[in-house]
Amino acid sequence: MNLKKVLWATAILGLVICGFIAYNIYDALFGANTSFNNEQAIVFIPTNATMIEVRRQMEPLLKNISKFEAVAQRKGYSNNIKPGRYAIKKGMNNNEIINTLRSQNLPVKVSFNNQETLGSLAGRVSSQIEADSIALAAVLHDVDFIQSSGLNNDNALSMYLPNTYEFFWNTSAEQFRSRMKKEYERFWNSERKEKAEKISLTPTQVMSLAAIVQKETVKVDERPRVAGVYLNRLRRGMLLQADPTVIYAVKKETGNFDTIIKRVLYKDLTLDSPYNTYKYAGLPPGPITMPDISSIDAVLNAETHDYLYFVADVSNFGYHKFAKNLAQHNRNKVQYVEWLNAQKIKR
């Protein structure tokens, strides 16, 4: 009788222990383990991360980090960590979290525009993907890559078209550069190349002119007309005399591209720089900024007219007054200079 009781007690105890173990395993796998109040939390797992780094990222978000680590070990995640950007949703269990971290890398939207140098582009992009600005700057300035792409140090910025692109957060500097080259080649399709040929410009020359157009007017609807002015001047062998190129030359001379220059001075026009289109004929060696697609297409679809000059229209800010001859232009210019002086804009 006593033996039966012992056996029954042992069996019951065994069942209790097994049940306890089973419950803990079930709870570790399928019990909710998030501790944050928002609907989701975003986690960034770096390239070559170890479980120590994963723990550091996850611990503030979880009720029980030890159970998470146990499940990660059991499911083989600890030895196969995937870098990327992941969304951990409120109420997830450890099984769901691990499945998310190894298979649901979320893309990010990468945007850039109006950068004037490859260095500033590197800084802008590095704030949006894992690759840092040093790594990005190194690959963007790589001479072998630039030359193999049919570009040079002066026009290398041409390859990077301002837009919003989808990348994985853990994109490397090389992967970013490779993607941008493909986007550039896709953009310059046969139709755009034919349009460039019709205006006697190469794609890189179009980019250089588009950059000037971009700086001259923020009004997209006016850009084809401004482009037409510069094409007219190029065809006649006139100096472009584009103020934005002089401003760029001054910045390049000083090495300070953060300088804000609102007014070009007569002394600036004498600066000996290939970017000074008051001194050197033709287009500058490369783009003075990163032209957006509207500016590029404005050059390729420039308005046909007889205008050779333009100046800011102080009665309609953002737009310009256009002239077919110098006398008319000088009359328009007087109003603009008077406005500058009234506003006490000296630089």
Write out the H or E segment, with its range, that includes residue 86. strand 84-89
Task: Assess whether pLDDT exceeds 50 at residue 75.
Answer: yes
Q: How confident is the model at residue 255 (pLDDT cuts 50, 70, 90)?
A: confident
| Start-end of CATH 3.30.1490.480 domains in the chain | 31-103
Residue 322: what pLDDT? 95
Mean pLDDT of 132-151: 97
Give the closest residue to 141 by CA, choosing from 120, 161, 162.
Answer: 120
Are the C-beta atoms of residues 327 and 196 closer than 8 Å to each other? no
234-254 tens-digit pLDDT:
999 999 999 999 999 999 888
Predicted pLDDT at 334: 83
**164, 111 Cβ separation under 8 angstroms:** yes
User: Looking at per-residue confidence, does 87 or 330 come out higher?
Assistant: 87
Contact 58, 35 (CB under 8 A): no
Question: In whole angstroms, what is the distance from residue 307 CA to residue 224 CA?
Answer: 12
CA dist., res. 116 & res. 288, Å (int)? 6
When the pLDDT of each residue in the chain is averaged and rounded to a whole number, the result is 90
Specify whether the CB–CB gap between 112 and 129 falls below 8 A: no
Q: At 304, phi and psi to the nearest 5?
A: -90, 120
Q: At what angle do helices 94-103 and 2-30 cross, to 10 degrees?
A: 40
Torsion of CA 52, 53, 59, 61, to 10 degrees: -150
Whole-number pLDDT of residue 135: 98
Tokens of 171: 């994109």
Q: What is the pLDDT of residues 101-133, one digit of tens each?
A: 999 999 999 999 989 999 999 999 999 999 999
- What residues pair up with 62 in beta bridges, in sequence order? 34
pLDDT of residue 27: 47
Alpha helix segments (H runs only) across 188-270: 190-198, 203-216, 223-236, 243-254
Q: Is the domain 31-103 a CATH 3.40.50.300 member?
A: no
pLDDT-derived band of residue 45, with 50, 70 and 90 as boundaries? very high
Cβ atoms 147, 141 nearer than 8 A: no
> In which element (H, E) is residue 27 found?
helix 2-30
Q: Are 254 and 275 in contact (CB under 8 A)?
A: no
Closest CA to 238 of 289, 274, 181, 283: 283
What residues pair up with 45 in beta bridges, in sequence order? Answer: 84
Q: Which of 81, 86, 111, 84 is nearest to 96 (CA)?
A: 86
Share of the chain above pLDDT 70, in %: 90
Distance CA 217, CA 320 (A): 8
For 164, other C-beta atoms within 10 Å of its C-beta total 9
- Pairing relationship of beta strands 163-168 and 107-112 according to DSSP bridges: antiparallel
Distance from C-alpha of 249 to C-alpha of 210, rounded to nearest angstrom: 17
- Bridge partners of 32, per DSSP, are 93
Q: Is the pLDDT of residue 20 over 50?
A: no
**Any idea what the Cα angle at residue 71 is, between residues 68 and 72, rounded to 5°?**
85
